[in-house]
Amino acid sequence: MRISDFIYEIKEGMAISFQAIRANKMRSVLTTLGIVIGIVSVTLMGTAIEGLSRGFNDSISKLGADVLYVQKWPWFAGGDWWKYRNRKDIKMAEYKAIDRQAALIQAATPASGTIRTVKYQDNSSSGVFIIGSNEKYLEIGGSSMDIGRFFSQAEADGGRPVCVIGSEIATNLFPHTSPLGKNLKVGNFTFRVVGVMAKQGSFLGMFSLDNRVVIPMQAFLQRFGTRHGIEIDVKAKDIKQLDDTKEELRGILRKVRHVAPGAEDDFAINQQEMFIQTFNAIGLVVAGIGLFITALSLFVGSIGIMNIMFVSVTERTKEIGIRKAIGARRGTILLQFLIEAASLSLIGGLIGIIISYPLSLLLNQILPTSMPISVVAISIVISLIVGVISGFLPANRASKMDPVDALRYE
């Protein structure tokens, strides 16, 4: 068969299936119900996964992908809790060593945190994160200032009683006035507000990144000094050299902490990749469940189409006979009914996409997402494939009909 013949037959098949579907509108739409549900489930699942991962990436990028966290505890280790518990705390000495010696880092800051109630006049806010850091905090954390300024290196080194507040604190404690220059009570100590950071939102929707007060590390250690040591946040110069940077830090830390050669590290260098790996594992489970539901509804939809195609073939036995008598080959008839089944399924797919679009907007209320175009494309391809598969048996039956018997059929 020549290509041009094939194109005529496809065109003819499309015209026939269009007529046939139009002649049985109600039946056709009902038939596609299973596919509609399947495609709605495909698109929503795709949108949800997209939303989860986008939300996660947004949150993770607030931390910065090129930041390493030197801590006592690894983020995702499990296992021997006591081993980590008994490690030596990380102290300012380690920070100073890193700051002085590391060549591959752009910036490093010591960091420590606690939770206190914060007050200004009659307004107060409890459960606020109080973070001790230095002037590199902004650079490393990837945040920016809304008004005012961040505290300077001199203020940081001198442990001055100044603070920078998150946007949520600013709105809660200073609803009517500018917070700049005001004296804030953090626990029992007074800090002068020098700046307000830009709004950052929440981490995975769980806790607010704007409900915080950042103060110089020295001031933090003097006033809230904990027994638990600190962490060191390090921003690499080049994200491509993250592994090298990590190695460099390891070397410095092992020396400062006097780790014997061959002994295991007694600290952890955490990075976001660990978060991402854990998250991907969760995403995989969600996708698996979604895939199962989707496959089930598409299977039901496929049976519906197969059923109605058998009806359609039987109804049109005479027509098949006529077409065969005037020269339609088996392949021609097969193609005609395959196209019809695929068209039915495609209609179901399009209806499904139309239904899921507003639902995805609803989903957007919970997750930062929109229906990705790739999911739309995949849905269309899936419905075409389902149509062809479910149409095959009926189409095959039609193509193998004996023309004499088919012509005699009333």
Alpha-carbon span 345 to 155, nearest angstrom: 68
Q: Binding to another protein by residue 319, rule CB under 8 A?
A: yes
Q: How far is the CB of 26 from another protein (least distance, A)?
A: 17
Give the residue with the Cβ less far from another protein, 11 or 149: 11
Q: Binding to another protein by residue 337, rule CB under 8 A?
A: no
Q: Binding to another protein by residue 315, rule CB under 8 A?
A: no
Residue of 92, 329, 370, 393 that binds another protein (CB under 8 A): 329
Alpha-carbon span 95 to 90, nearest angstrom: 8
Alpha-carbon span 337 to 28, nearest angstrom: 14
Q: Is 11 helix (H, G, I), strand (E, B) or coil?
A: helix
Give the residue with the Cβ less far from another protein, 253 or 328: 328
- 106 close to 139: Cβ distance less than 8 angstroms: yes
Q: Binding to another protein by residue 61, rule CB under 8 A?
A: no
C-beta contacts of 372-379 below 8 A and 24+ residues apart: 372/46, 372/47, 372/50, 374/46, 375/42, 375/43, 375/46, 375/47, 375/50, 376/43, 378/42, 378/46, 379/39, 379/42, 379/43, 379/349, 379/352, 379/353
C-beta contacts of 322-329 below 8 A and 24+ residues apart: 322/407, 324/401, 324/403, 324/406, 325/403, 325/407
Which of the ranges 26-34, 237-245, 296-304, 314-322 carries the binding residues for another protein, by CB under 8 A? Answer: 314-322
One character per residue 10-49, x = contact with another protein (rule: CB under 8 A): --x------xx--x--------------------------
Q: How far is the CB of 296 from another protein (least distance, A)?
A: 36
Alpha-carbon span 82 to 353, nearest angstrom: 53
Give the residue with the Cβ less far from another protein, 160 or 316: 316
One character per residue 370-409, x = contact with another protein (rule: CB under 8 A): --------------------------------xxx--x--
CA distances from 374 to 42, 47, 198, 366 (A): 11, 10, 33, 21
Which of the ranges 64-72, 96-104, 121-129, 330-338 carries the binding residues for another protein, by CB under 8 A? Answer: 330-338
Q: How far is the CB of 31 from another protein (least distance, A)?
A: 19
Q: Which residues contact 189 (CB under 8 A, 6 or more apart)?
A: 161, 223
Residue of 206, 285, 326, 373 that binds another protein (CB under 8 A): 326
Q: How far is the CB of 330 from another protein (least distance, A)?
A: 6
Q: Binding to another protein by residue 327, rule CB under 8 A?
A: yes
Alpha-carbon span 77 to 72, nearest angstrom: 12
Q: How far is the CB of 340 from another protein (least distance, A)?
A: 13
Binding site for another protein (CB under 8 A): 1-2, 4-5, 8-9, 12, 19-20, 23, 318-319, 321-332, 402-404, 407
